[in-house]
Chain A
Amino acid sequence: MPVAGVDIGSLSTEVVILEKGKILAGIIVSTGANSKVAAEKAMQMALEKSGLARDNLQYIIATGYGRVSAPFAHEKVTEITCHGRGAFSLDSGVRTVIDIGGQDSKVIRLNSRGKVVDFVMNEKCAAGTGRFLEVMAHALEMDLAEMSRLAPLARKTVTISSMCTVFAESEVVSLIAEGYPREEIVKGIITSIVERTVSMANRVGVEGTLMMTGGVAKNAAIVKALQESLGIKITVPQEPQVVGALGAALLAEEGLEKKEG
């Protein structure tokens, strides 16, 4: 019985279709201005990829900040539970999950059964999130891949002292004008994200295997800096961005099983 998980984030929307634990389709699209449209589009693409029709899906769980914008979902579950569930399914040794998404970041602690036992989320602003990284990349006139590539080349780190995304952007513009090498500025941006993430991780305490999920996990320089700062190896799944949707799909399978008794 196929089921689906939909993760509607602020920057991207993901859909995973599962059947008996096997992934039939995984789709990532930009959310854009209308999360409802993005959810519909991602779902349609996933259905096409899996060769299924909407009616074939027996249970759908929506997650992410836009979970309320998915009228086709049977249930809504937070991204906290979904990322925890998704990460645990990929590695049952995972006890800590760092998820840095488009507009929020969180650290989740799991027990030996994969159940969430604690979590912390970033404060209200976008500092330390994917959006922060995007804005800084824009100020530096480079893409995220180039940022990741440039960071290891830096000999020094320029300190980015502003926590606010808007102020940090101005600071980066000033640093460029002052002639600081771009790689040093990139390193400074990464350090700023890492410091915020590490303090959150320390609040819940890091145990067991640490997995990083969410779009920012694709940035190798940030993962490396986090590893160095935390002093622990970080596991990054093949496609970290769909872990929330995968968790939602797994929970949908469980929900369906319960429903069918």
Chain B
Amino acid sequence: MLDLIKKYMAREKGPDMLRRPAIYSLGQAMVRYNLLKFPYRATAMMVEYGLEQTKKVYNRRLPFVWTSAFFPTELLHAMGIPAFSPEIAAALAASLGFQGNFLREAESRWWGRDNCSFHRCAIGGLFSHYYPLPSAFCASSHLCEGAVLMFGSLARVYHRPFMLLDVPVEQEDDSLNYVIGQLKQIISSLEEITGITLQNGKLQEAVANAEGTRRAMQEINELRRHPYSPLTSREAFSYLYLNFTGLGSRAMLRVYETLARELEERIREKKTPEKPLRFKLLWLHLPPFYRNNILEYLEEKGARVVFEEFNHVYWGAMDVSRPLESIAGRMLSHFSYGHISRRIEIIKELAADYNVDGVIHFSHWGCRQSCGSLRMIRDSLQKEGLPFLVLDGDCIDNRNYAPGQVQTRIDGFLEMLA
């Protein structure tokens, strides 16, 4: 069925159907009646939720906002404002094979190929009217400066409000209050734009959901350490949709709780046959989302990505009675923000927790924050005796993907580990 959808989307007018809310209702029905197959019940629940959220934004009856990857979505869920993540939309476009249309559209409007392709794709999608124009653009300064610049620029082009949550890089005594102050301002602006008033009870509920989700994610991450853990890295990456847009929602909590139960059951029943495993690997940054077989090729060679940096739960317990403090604390504790030593320490901890034999960093073209400190990461890992491979590539733009060269680097790395 997915292949049929991809085939349809590859047609010139294929992406047109994206704009029709009815298509999302149809998708939901297909999920509900098991016409689309998913490896986990949790995945089906996530897809159904994602289709519902997307349908809402295309319905245009309610205000909605664009959010950058780490914007605090708890606020939006508390106010009932749907979030549209252009980065996730770009990943979806790439996985369905029509990102080229959007990239070309952006490039023809002078957004050069040196820019991050997540953003170029999102811009092209909006310019060509496939992605919905929001009521406001909401970005946080951590971790990605490209998103901030893109949101700011689009806000000016389309005369929409732009809200920036400035998360300080260097943390000082007053950093928490600084972020809280901005959260209050953003809430106030959102109330003004949407006409929806944030109720404290709803905010507490969203933070309670986020806290429950945090615990479920920790449980999942713990289960993934088990040799019979069936969750593949490709599947784990598919849940990024929720990590980018769902925190604070009841739906995300239910999906992760369900996934934890399913994993627990499959591990208990040893439903996944133990494959001969030569090497365990840790993946840093994101994978390519267009058709590629990197993760599967690794599996074929007996090397498995057992954990991904992006699925690490980096923030501490959230206190429902102090919702804004909890959200601000989460913003300030991002694993890859601040001094590079924080990211390195976390990578080392993850490598030890998952007992990995090597670490792969996928360096997405144009992503300064993930690629800027490779030397320091490499040196620190080598001190720990951990081999490190940098795969230069692009998560969205497959014109920057050379399968043969990637394969040689992976083969060379695995030979080095042997």
- A116 near B412: Cβ-Cβ < 8 Å: yes
Q: List, in ascending order, chain B residues with CB within 8 A of A121's CB.
A: 405, 408-409
CA distance A203 to B411 in the complex (A): 20
Q: List, in ascending order, chain B residues with CB within 8 A of A77's CB.
A: 411, 415
- Interface size in chain A (residues, C-beta < 8 A): 18
Does B219 lie at the interface of the complex (its beta carbon under 8 Å from any beta carbon of A)? Answer: no
CA distance A81 to B418 in the complex (A): 11
B416 contact from A104, A116, A203, Cβ within 8 A = A116
Does A80 lie at the interface of the complex (its beta carbon under 8 Å from any beta carbon of B)? Answer: yes
Does A165 lie at the interface of the complex (its beta carbon under 8 Å from any beta carbon of B)? Answer: no
8 A Cβ contacts from B367-418 to A = 375, 382, 387, 390, 392, 400, 402, 404-405, 408-409, 411-412, 415-416
Q: List, in ascending order, chain B residues with CB within 8 A of A76's CB.
A: 411
Q: List, in ascending order, chain B residues with CB within 8 A of A203's CB.
A: 375
Q: List, in ascending order, chain A residues with CB within 8 A of B415's CB.
A: 77-78, 80-81, 116
Q: List, in ascending order, chain B residues with CB within 8 A of A117's CB.
A: 387, 416
- B412 near A80: Cβ-Cβ < 8 Å: yes
Q: List, in ascending order, chain A residues with CB within 8 A of B392's CB.
A: 123-124
8 A Cβ contacts from A113-168 to B = 115-121, 123-124
B16 CB to nearest chain A CB (Å): 34
CA distance A120 to B412 in the complex (A): 10
Render A177-214 as a binary contact track against B, CB cut-off 8 A, 1 for contact.
00000000000000000000000000100000000000
- Nearest to A104 among chain B residues (CB) is B405
CA distance A146 to B21 in the complex (A): 68
8 A Cβ contacts from A73-112 to B = 76-81, 104
- A124 near B400: Cβ-Cβ < 8 Å: yes
CA distance A115 to B417 in the complex (A): 10
CA distance A118 to B412 in the complex (A): 9
B133 CB to nearest chain A CB (Å): 36
- Interface size in chain B (residues, C-beta < 8 A): 15
A78 contact from B375, B400, B411, Cβ within 8 A = B411
CA distance A118 to B417 in the complex (A): 10
B402 contact from A78, A80, A115, A124, Cβ within 8 A = A124
Q: List, in ascending order, chain B residues with CB within 8 A of A124's CB.
A: 392, 400, 402, 405
A8 CB to nearest chain B CB (Å): 12
Q: List, in ascending order, chain A residues with CB within 8 A of B375's CB.
A: 203
- A119 near B412: Cβ-Cβ < 8 Å: yes
Q: List, in ascending order, chain A residues with CB within 8 A of B412's CB.
A: 78, 80-81, 116, 119
Q: List, in ascending order, chain B residues with CB within 8 A of A79's CB.
A: 408
CA distance A121 to B416 in the complex (A): 14
CA distance A101 to B415 in the complex (A): 20
- Nearest to B416 among chain A residues (CB) is A116
Q: List, in ascending order, chain B residues with CB within 8 A of A81's CB.
A: 412, 415-416
CA distance A51 to B384 in the complex (A): 50
- B416 near A65: Cβ-Cβ < 8 Å: no
A247 CB to nearest chain B CB (Å): 11
CA distance A81 to B390 in the complex (A): 17
Given A116-B415, A124-B402: A78 touches B382 (CB 8 Å cut-off) = no
Closest 5 CB pairs of A and B: A80-B412, A78-B412, A81-B415, A78-B411, A116-B416
23 inter-chain pairs at a CB distance below 8 angstroms, sorted by A residue, are A65-B404, A65-B408, A76-B411, A77-B411, A77-B415, A78-B408, A78-B411, A78-B412, A79-B408, A80-B408, A80-B411, A80-B415, A81-B416, A116-B412, A117-B387, A118-B387, A118-B416, A119-B412, A121-B405, A121-B408, A124-B392, A124-B400, A124-B402
Q: List chain A positions with a Cβ less than 8 A from chain B.
A: 65, 76-81, 104, 115-121, 123-124, 203
Q: List chain B positions with a Cβ less than 8 A from chain A.
A: 375, 382, 387, 390, 392, 400, 402, 404-405, 408-409, 411-412, 415-416
